[in-house]
Chains A and B, each alone.
Chain A
Amino acid sequence: MVAEIGFGSLFVSLIVSIYGVIAALYGTSNHQKKWILSAQQAMRLVFPLLTITVGSLIYLLINNNFEVVYVSKVSSLSMPLYLKITALWGGQSGSLLFWSWLLAGFTSAVTIKKWDRDQDLLPWVIVVGLGTLTFFLVLNTFFENPFVRYWQVNQDIVQSFSQPAGGFIIGPRNGSGLNPLLRHPGMVIHPPMQYLGFVAFIVPYAYAMASLIIGRSDDRWIQLSRRWTLWAWLFLSLGLILGARWAYDVLGWGGYWGWDPVEISALMPWLSGTAFLHAVLIQEKRGMFKQWPIVLIILTYNLVIFGTFLTRSGLLSSVHSFARSTIGPIFLVFIALTFIASFWLLSSRWDKFKSRQELTSFFSKEALILISIVLLMGMLATTFWGVIFPNISELITGAKVTVGPPFYERVAAPILGGILTIMVICPLAIWSYVSFKHLGKLLWKPFIVSLLGIVLPILGGLTKVPAVIAFWLVAFVLAVNGFEFVRRTRLRRKTESESFLEAVFRVFQRNKRSYAAMIIHVGIVFMALGIIGIEFFQTETQGTLAEGQELQLASYTMEYEELQIFDTPDARNVARAVVLVKKDGEVLDEIYPRRDFYYDSNQPVTIPGVRSTLVDDFYVILVDWKAVTSEGATFKVYHNPLVKWLWIGAWVIIFGVVVATWPEKKSSMAVSKNARPK
């Protein structure tokens, strides 16, 4: 019954979605407002409809309805409640449904705003939003239906949604359960964030397309979608960072970042999305390069769909990919259609979006931002090429080849260096024109401070040149931002008689967006610090220890105390080592590297014990142990300097985006200022 409700609601939402597209098209071509309003209602309706569908699937998962094929494959009796719910996105068809549901959420939310001034955009936003949703609902309804059940027909077991002739429902007594690697708190938050980030980019894309179609070349679409874009970017960033954190916390995903093709397919829209955010800034401040944001948002949207395709077509060998599926070709057709249509539209409106302004100085803010966009796009081209090169090469030469992490690392390191360099200059540069002399005046003090970033590591015994350069750049960016902040506050205090704190607050308030950008960039630099730490300075050792024996790495000593082996209520067998972390003979901490063996799927999962500080992480993996006597156990130990800054950077970025999107107090004033005619 519940499965029927779920599927019924899914089917109805598909119909409503198709209706919305047609009504919007009809309404706009015949100038009949009631059809457009009707389409708007349709767009509002899909979210509640799909909520019923998602609710039904969650109900089936929670109640162990294993006659539903999807439930039997991703859930089992012994799984805790929260994991049963997360199993909604633990497999192909369920995660596609989850995706459609989030997409419907965003499209519905867009309809809520008042459209008075933007009536002309509305029908096309509906067409793009519901058009995309229709595609995913078609996949869910006809190809990846999560409500398919097992039926017994004579002696055969048949998988079908509707009842075959003479068939009756049967189901296994227990499901095979979620893949143990997915049974982790990370499962609760990483996939939803990643998906939110992906689907939220539909909003700016829809606005951009609507603007293109009606030929409106002002900044309106950018103003309307600015907050959406920032949140989309934040969610996507968090999805990536949480994925990295999960991979760091559980062995088996291959370290914090492995240049796995699926990781890359999530990174690609992030790169183009980041470039988009910056291109938007140039258009808003200078009215220049108006085609760039449109190109970049088209790329981002298509890369999101392309990433979904890569993950779901079974094209890749990756820890993330789903089983091989038939939906690959349909995806390719959809990507090709939207890509060609978007760029055809853009080319037909190209002249309308031309701007009169030209670049005047290499050190103007717009030029620097432009360079960083080019660098981001270079990184994007590299990652894209790395993912598709094996397929192209196989087509042409017949030889199967792959490119591994060294390829990406070699290209990424100099590009990251270039971006950091721009981050040094950019806060000091001004729009339109700036001379090198002017920059030099502002740069010399932070430069001297940044030399600490060279001297201190070298005094500390550091000899690797790239690492020294990296530390120096990090110190330089931080110094520039610090000096700039103090300088602006002082300027303010010269003219207003305020206390220092008050001045800080006022300056902040007056220039909220620029300070938010500063905060986000400092977050990025913190993350770079973490990456530098683990990439350049990771050391490792290993050893088999009897109880009470010790092993040394870096300045730490670990002592193996004992091994505890026990069963848990959720059908795991846990082998847990108790390890003391010591420094200079003093016990700092007790950590518990362990291995969980899942009975229902017959598979172990290794979880390291970590002692984490701002300076370094001491990371211990329980590799193996002597089962009978439990006398000796083998450990692999890593020393990961500075890696905690990777996660701290993420928090800083969240804070920055919250500041940037915080509603304006004097919003009416801001709007009237921005809406001035160009």
Chain B
Amino acid sequence: MVEDDLQPIEAEPRKGNSLKFVIGGIVIIAAIIYLMVSSLQANVQYFLTVDEVLEKQNSGELTGRNIRLSGAVLGESIQYDMDTLELRFTIVHVPADIKLVEDEGGLAAALHNAVMDPTRSQLEVVYYGAKPDLLQNEAQAILTGELIANGVFEADELLLKCPTKYEGSVPDQIES
């Protein structure tokens, strides 16, 4: 009875029957769109620089919000407590605008400049867990978490990139 090899009986196309399938399809698609929109509203994160965080923290619009933040890791600030797995370090402002970064000579140079510049704004980060392998001076840190009351950022996710360890900037091989 349920043999796939059976040739289907060529059903007479029934007129007016397709409406229920159109409605069914619309219901499913509407459900998916609702799911998408509602989840998006609940889960959008701001992606900010250190400057922007410091600027906005007093207005209170960041409290309780999940944010994403990027900056350069200040190597000498890294402290790790093995017993509590509490990791603390400071990140330094790096501009988010790609053009500004390119003007400084690429990401690696921008991160280096940031760490060497004492006038840049800084933010303290705390994280509980294993110390990431790539956490080192002049790494780019992309943090997800919340700003906790005293101007400290508590990260629940750390993503680190060391531009020097990856393939360097693309060489200008097409010399004129």
Contact = CB atoms under 8 A, between A and B. Distances in A.
A427 B76 CA distance: 62
Given A251-B133, A252-B134, A603 B144 contact: no
A160 B43 contact: no
Interface stretch (A194-202, A359-367, A566-574): A359-367
A332 to B, nearest CB: 16
Contact of B2 (A148, A356, A378, A484): A484
A624 B35 CA distance: 42
A92 B173 CA distance: 14
A605 B133 contact: yes
B173 A606 contact: no
Contacts of B18: 358-359
A155 interface: no
A428 B18 CA distance: 23
Interface in B64-84: 66, 68, 70, 80, 82-83
A629 interface: no
Given A367-B21, A411-B36, A606-B133, A317 B173 contact: no
A58 interface: no
A42 B13 CA distance: 48
Nearest to B144: A404
A634 B130 CA distance: 9
Nearest to B47: A400
B4 A514 contact: yes
B interface, how many residues as a size bin? 35 or more
B40 A389 contact: yes
A148 B3 contact: no
Contacts, number: 192
B165 A407 contact: no
Given A390-B47, A411-B39, A317 B161 contact: yes
Contact of A323 (B80, B98, B157, B166): B166
Nearest to B171: A159
Q: Give the one of B25, B36, B172 with max A CB within 10 A.
A: B36
A625 B169 CA distance: 36
B168 A160 contact: no
A323 B5 contact: no
Contact of A358 (B13, B136, B166): B13
Interface string B127-161: 00111111010000010100000000000010101
A497 interface: no
Given A179-B166, A323-B170, A374-B25, A158 B43 contact: no
Interface stretch (A32-40, A429-437, A551-559): A429-437
* Residues of A contacting B: mostly: mixed
Contact of A326 (B10, B35, B170): B170
A410 B52 CA distance: 29
Contacts of B13: 356-358
Contact of A488 (B2, B166, B169, B171): B2
Given A142-B174, A319-B159, A623 B82 contact: yes
Residue picked from B2, B48, B98, B166, most chain A C-beta under 10 Å: B2
A245 to B, nearest CB: 19
Nearest to A149: B173
Contacts of B144: 404
A295 interface: no
A285 B8 contact: yes
A666 interface: no
Chain B contact surface mostly: loop
Interface residues of A, number: 87
B161 to A, nearest CB: 7
B82 A544 contact: yes
Contacts of B25: 374
A171 interface: no
A63 interface: no
A382 B129 contact: no
Contacts of A324: 98, 106-107, 169-170
Interface in B15-33: 17-18, 20-21, 24-25, 28-29, 32
A389 B37 CA distance: 12
Given A159-B171, A317-B70, A430-B1, 17 more contacts: A69-B171, A92-B170, A159-B173, A164-B175, A286-B8, A403-B45, A410-B39, A410-B43, A411-B36, A428-B2, A442-B2, A603-B136, A603-B165, A605-B133, A623-B85, A636-B85, A636-B129
29 contacts: A69-B173, A145-B173, A160-B173, A251-B130, A359-B21, A378-B29, A378-B32, A382-B32, A386-B40, A390-B47, A400-B47, A401-B46, A402-B45, A403-B43, A404-B45, A406-B39, A407-B44, A410-B35, A411-B35, A411-B36, A415-B32, A415-B35, A491-B1, A511-B4, A542-B85, A603-B133, A603-B134, A605-B133, A625-B82
Interface of B: 1-6, 8-11, 13-14, 17-18, 20-21, 24-25, 28-29, 32, 35-36, 39-40, 42-48, 66, 68, 70, 80, 82-83, 85, 96, 98, 106-107, 129-134, 136, 142, 144, 157, 159, 161-163, 165-175
List the 10 closest A-B pairs by CB distance, nearest first: A378-B32, A400-B47, A407-B43, A159-B171, A410-B39, A432-B8, A148-B173, A514-B4, A431-B8, A623-B130
